[in-house]
Amino acid sequence: MNIKNKKIAIVGGGPGGLTLARLLQQVGCNVTVYERDINKDYRVQGANLDLHEESGIRALEKANLMEAFYANYLPDAGKLRLMDHRGNIYLDDHTEEHNTEHRPEIDRGPLRKMLLESLQADTVVWDSQFVSMEKERDGWKLLFKNGKQYYADIVIGSDGANSKIRPYLSDAKPIYSGVTIIEGTIYEVEKNAPNINSLLKGGKIFAFGNEQSIILSTKGDGSIAFYTGEKVAENWVKDSGVNFENSAEVKKWFETNFSNWDGIYHELFATEKLVIVPRPQYHFPLDQHWQTQNNVTIIGDAAHRMPPYAGEGVNMAMLDALELSEALLHSDNVQTAFEQYESQMFERVKEVASVTLQNTVEMHKPSALQYIVDLFNSFQSFSFNTNRELR
């Protein structure tokens, strides 16, 4: 099949979509990425990403971007402190030299910049929020919020957990995991949360207690990202009465709901230099399937959204990009390529999602701390202690 004579539209310019664009452009394909952000300098939110050898790193190797990756990665960001809600440290990756290079970390912003710079000029059409698409000839006419329209022979949805491409393939509804995350970013953390900054030491913290969780990550731009996790009803964000755009209300919520947590954690909500986003966590059915089409498919969270409690989201998206690109380049026709990719993806993600959902449950049980201690000790030898003179 000569895929190079097809107009390929990728809807969504996240890591999966941009990786796919790079992989296809390397072999001469005609690719356009449609991204809703207004420009390349739009601020990228969220924690930094740990890329795994068998997935994210493998895709970057195929894209010939490892030199650029190691020019931008964060060598100390993977160093972990595992703590309880009282501020005691149980596992400390800073006390000994450990090899974390099998899952090196990078900020979302530099990863996107690196991928964008690897693409041909004008590959990405910015300020393109997808609205719908209509069948036209053998492909699709794509309609965007700004009123513009474009034709593509092949459409690949990489438009995230709330994908508008996905309904053209599947009517399976997302399932609430039972846990809602409050995502936060603190800018200029050295000034605005100095005690947390010192505790992080340039790495990350996983903290558990009272069937709740707090996960913190150091970013390379002087900020930190964090997630609180709590078992609440599916509609809690709406029904809680908390205005999550009001820092005072959010602070009061945290002081109430996390009242048994040590004061050092409360520094997270003590600054106004804070951006908050509530995120109920959903996943798609583990046994999901759909009828393969000959001109549209999806990758990443659009295909297999799941909570972040295994660090697999971006890695699965980038591996999707790799496997889909290889299928397109080596199959007799597009539908055969899509069928090969989708069947591989369904089986692979079923296992990953199962582990992720188990972690989501276990991390919000009374036994969460011991579960995570055992989990990390099974990966490698960490330093174990119960340092009660933290401050």
pLDDT in tens, 155-169: 999 999 999 999 999
Mean pLDDT of 321-327: 98
Strand pairing class (296-298; 149-152): unpaired
Split into its structural domains, the chain has a count of 2
pLDDT above 60: residue 385:
no
Residues 261 and 294 in one domain: no
Task: Give 45's pLDDT tier (boundaries 50, 70, 90).
Answer: confident
Beta bridge partners of 229: 181, 213
51 with 155, same domain?
Answer: yes
Look at residue 379 in the predicted model and tell me its pLDDT.
65
Same domain, 313 and 220: no
Q: Which tokens hold the place of 318? A: 């980038």
**Taking Cα atoms as reference points, which of 27, 33, 223, 228 lies closest to residue 142?**
33
CB burial readout 376-388, b (16+ within 10 A) else e: beeeeebeeeeee
- Check pLDDT > 60 for residue 380: no
Q: Which residues contact 370 (CB under 8 A, 6 or more apart)?
A: none
Residue 71 inside a domain? The answer is no
Does residue 67 lie within any of the structural domains? no
Residues 345 and 296 both lie in one domain: yes
Structural domain contains residue 303: yes
218 occurs within a structural domain: yes
Kindly tell me if the per-residue pLDDT of 232 is higher than 80.
yes
Does any domain span residue 87? no
Provide the pLDDT confidence category of residue 1 given band limits of 50, 70 and 90: low
Flag whether 101 is in a domain: no
Residue 319 has pLDDT above 80, yes or no: yes
Torsion sign across C-alpha atoms 368, 374, 379, 380: positive
Distance CA 344, CA 337 (A): 11
240, 376: one domain: yes
**Domain shared by 243 and 197, yes or no:** yes
**Binding-site residue positions for NADPH:** 43
CATH number, position 145: 3.50.50.60
Q: Which domain holds residue 291?
A: 3-59+107-173+284-362
Known binding site for FAD: residues? 50, 108, 301
120 and 231 inside one domain: no
Q: What share of the chain has pLDDT > 90, as a percent?
A: 80
233 and 301 inside one domain: no
229 within 8 A of 363, measured Cβ to Cβ = yes
Do residues 263 and 164 lie in contact, with contact meaning Cβ atoms separated by under 8 Å?
A: no
Confidence of residue 75 (pLDDT cuts 50, 70, 90): confident
Whether residues 35 and 145 share a domain: the answer is yes
Q: What are the backbone angles phi and psi of residue 61, rounded to the nearest 5°? A: -60, -45
In a domain, 23, yes or no: yes
Same domain flag for 111 and 241: no
**Is position 194 within any domain?**
yes
Which amino acid is located at 146 in the chain?
N
- Would you say residue 384 has pLDDT above 50? no
Residues 168 and 118 in one domain: yes
- pLDDT of amino acid 383: 37
Mark the binding-site residues, compressed into ranges.
Answer: 43, 50, 108, 301
Residue 204's CATH number = 3.30.9
Same structural domain for residues 29 and 137?
yes
Mean of per-residue pLDDT scores for the chain: 92
